[in-house]
A and B are shown apart, each in its own frame.
Chain A
Amino acid sequence: MSAERHMLTIDQVKAGDVVPAFTVDVSATTVVLGALASRDWRPMHHDKDFAVQRNGVKDIFLNTPAQAAWFERYITDWTGPAGRLGRMKFRMKDSVFAGDRMVFRGVVEQVETDATGCSWVDVALSLKVGEKLVTSCAARVAIPANASDNPWKRRGENWKP
């Protein structure tokens, strides 16, 4: 299994490249799974009455760590397991509710190798529901320079995300 795994290397990526889109239909179960997996017991992530009556929104909605986990999955589906997240910044402009269809998209903004020799890809990501941009995300991910490189081996001064 490991010998055949997918591995994106830096020579295969350039600015402007598009990360294949990824679509997820969000159910109440999706929201609750994400909340429980991230140990988030707050009621707006499992109790529709609370979400509607207290928060004034239409349904229960994905919590922040669950969105982060979905973005991570989207990124590493593209890079393969050798891809190592260095930094993620996301801005939630709206919420993803049960019943929504979320679509993840990404565009490579920059490819660079830092002073330590680590190869970085900066990706601009979006999560949309319909035409509405719900969350934007800027991710910086280290990928191997070549088939024998491994960003996960970097530590201390050799890891500067």
Chain B
Amino acid sequence: MSELPSEVQSWIGQVRYEEETEFDVERGYIFTTCSSVQNGNPLFWDDQVAQELTGGPIAPPTMLSVWFRPHHWAPGRTKPLQPLQVHFDLKEKLDLPEAIMTDNEIVFAEPVRPGDRLRTRQILRSVSDPKTTKLGKGRFWVIEVEYLNQRDELVGRESYTGFGYRRSEA
């Protein structure tokens, strides 16, 4: 059984990639997301309903991760930034070229509203011993992401389980 590299071991429990989203939460993306899944919930389309229920417009709770995904390109950027960078760091350090997400748990706190500017931070919680699945041989890992708004209120906490692997040869 191969040992976990010490550098990766040191990442477990460490807060990494504390960052602010690249743009304020805005309604265009809220409408685009609702449209993409034909979500007609009037809370997101009808300002009167939003005012009555939530004191004004909010984003669908499951959009939490949308706000911290970086632009594919930005001026001066020499290579694309990756969302959930810890996931990609693990792929690189463990030499596992492919990866999928298997589990995702989201706990929702304060609603996210247009104009909010969110901060996130990533914490690697665990990395498994090597495992073999139908996809190939690799490792599972769990990454937690916390989301705070500009008032330091927790808006959500998300946990991802990923499986990084090298494809089995046919």
Q: A residues bordering B, Cβ < 8 Å?
A: 1-2, 5, 30, 33-34, 36-41, 54-56, 64-66, 68-73, 76-77, 81-82, 84-93, 150, 152, 155, 159, 161
Contacts and interface: CB of A to CB of B under 8 A. Distances in A.
- Chain B binding surface SS class: mixed
Interface string B2-45: 00000000000000000000000000010011011111011100
Contacts of A70: 37
B54 A159 contact: no
Given A37-B33, A41-B80, A87-B106, A76 B39 contact: yes
15 contacts: A37-B66, A38-B69, A65-B66, A69-B36, A70-B37, A73-B37, A81-B42, A81-B53, A84-B61, A85-B108, A89-B104, A92-B100, A92-B101, A150-B53, A152-B54
A79 to B, nearest CB: 10
Contacts, number: 121
B62 A71 contact: yes
Given A2-B49, A77-B41, 15 more contacts: A1-B42, A33-B35, A33-B36, A36-B32, A38-B33, A39-B29, A39-B66, A40-B69, A41-B72, A41-B80, A65-B63, A69-B62, A72-B37, A81-B53, A90-B105
Contacts of B60: 69, 72
